């Protein structure tokens, strides 16, 4: 019997769970490992050179420990910076998560699109190039949020966050000019769909209805392109989460992880 492939899903924290969920739904028959570099969270505030070195170091240890057949970097802040170096250094294929500017700009009717990401992601040359190449004559507003990833983590960990704090982080996404209004918002940080899908906060706090674009389903499709579809008869395999801080998850976090089908595993040696 052929052994099930292993997929490693990596993020700075809990945001990558939004990608993990789609990958797990598309390939329930693979061995899935979720790794959160929570010891270094938030990536959005790290210096670029320090972050490149950190991601390479952590990835080397995770690859040595888990021998994945494919790695999903479920983090825009890391993917827009360090994917070329990861691909150069390691043989395993990497699927990155980058702002979904192309589908957003081709779907927008009002031609007003906002990209909501960490301050680091919206500053990256990678993001600016995506807009130049795939902007489709849209006016794209870049909104760097200093706190939204942390607010999403706090909510998931059971620490309530006020509507006012979330509304303040997303307000600049809503632009009205000459009778037109923003109709599409790219969620360019994997933490933000936690606030949308799981916690139903973004839609409620939007200034008017918009189409929020979550890249996770497209990433799962890319994984299937590379590894093939699930084997129909295979049973789902247990998945586990690793936290580089080595901190044991609280009861609330363990319950949240369980909602994603994850048990917390042994800490990574980072």
Q: Tell the smallest beta-carbon distance from residue 128 to ligand DGL (Å).
A: 16
Out of 8, 30, 55, 75, the only residue in the binding site for ligand DGL (CB under 6 A) is: 75
Stretch that binds ligand DGL, among 10-18, 55-63, 131-139, 220-228 (CB under 6 A): 10-18
The pattern of x and - marking residues 37 through 56 that bind ligand DGL according to CB under 6 A reads ----xxxx------------
Which of these, 84, 33, 80, 42, lies nearest to 61 by C-alpha position?
33
Count CB-CB contacts under 10 A for residue 189: 32
| Helices (H), ranges, 44-194 | 48-66, 76-89, 101-107, 119-123, 125-134, 148-156, 163-170, 192-193
| Pick 76 or 184: Cβ nearer ligand DGL | 76
Distance CA 29, CA 228 (A): 11
**Cα(266)–Cα(33) distance, rounded to whole angstroms?**
11
Among 149, 173, 185, 210, binds ligand DGL (CB under 6 A): 149
Report if residue 15 touches ligand DGL, rule: CB under 6 A. Answer: yes
When binding is defined by CB under 6 A, the residue of 191, 196, 242, 257 that contacts ligand DGL is: 191
- Rounded distance, CA 137 to CA 101, Å? 12
Catalytic positions, written as ranges? 75, 189
Q: Which residues bind ligand DGL (CB under 6 A)?
A: 11-13, 15, 41-44, 75-77, 118, 121, 149, 189-191
């Amino acid at each position: 019997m052929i052994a099930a492939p292993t997929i490693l899903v990596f993020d700075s924290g809990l945001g990558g769970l939004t990608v993990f969920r789609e990958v797990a739904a598309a390939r329930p028959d693979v061995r899935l490992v979720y790794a959160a570099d929570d010891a270094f969270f938030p990536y959005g505030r790290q210096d670029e050179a320090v972050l490149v070195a950190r991601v390479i170091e952590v990835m080397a240890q995770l690859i040595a420990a888990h021998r994945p057949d494919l790695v999903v970097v479920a983090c825009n802040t890391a993917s827009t910076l360090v994917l070329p170096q990861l691909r150069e250094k390691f043989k395993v294929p990497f699927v990155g998560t980058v702002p979904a500017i192309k589908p957003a700009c081709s779907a927008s009717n009002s031609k007003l699109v906002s990209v909501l990401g960490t301050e680091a992601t919206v500053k990256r040359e990678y993001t600016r190039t995506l807009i130049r190449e795939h902007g489709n004559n849209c006016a794209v507003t870049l909104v760097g949020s200093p706190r939204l990833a942390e607010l999403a983590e706090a909510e998931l960990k059971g620490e309530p966050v006020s509507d006012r704090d979330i509304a303040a982080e997303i307000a600049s996404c809503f632009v009205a000019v000459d009778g037109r209004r923003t109709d599409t918002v790219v969620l360019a940080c994997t933490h933000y769909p936690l606030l949308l899908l799981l916690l139903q906060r973004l839609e409620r706090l939007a200034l008017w209805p918009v189409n929020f674009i979550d890249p996770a389903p497209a990433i799962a499709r890319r994984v299937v392109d590379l590894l093939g579809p699930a084997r129909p008869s295979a049973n789902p395999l247990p998945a586990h989460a690793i936290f580089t801080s080595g901190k044991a998850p609280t009861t609330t976090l363990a319950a949240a992880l369980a909602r994603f089908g994850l048990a917390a595993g042994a800490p990574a040696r980072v």
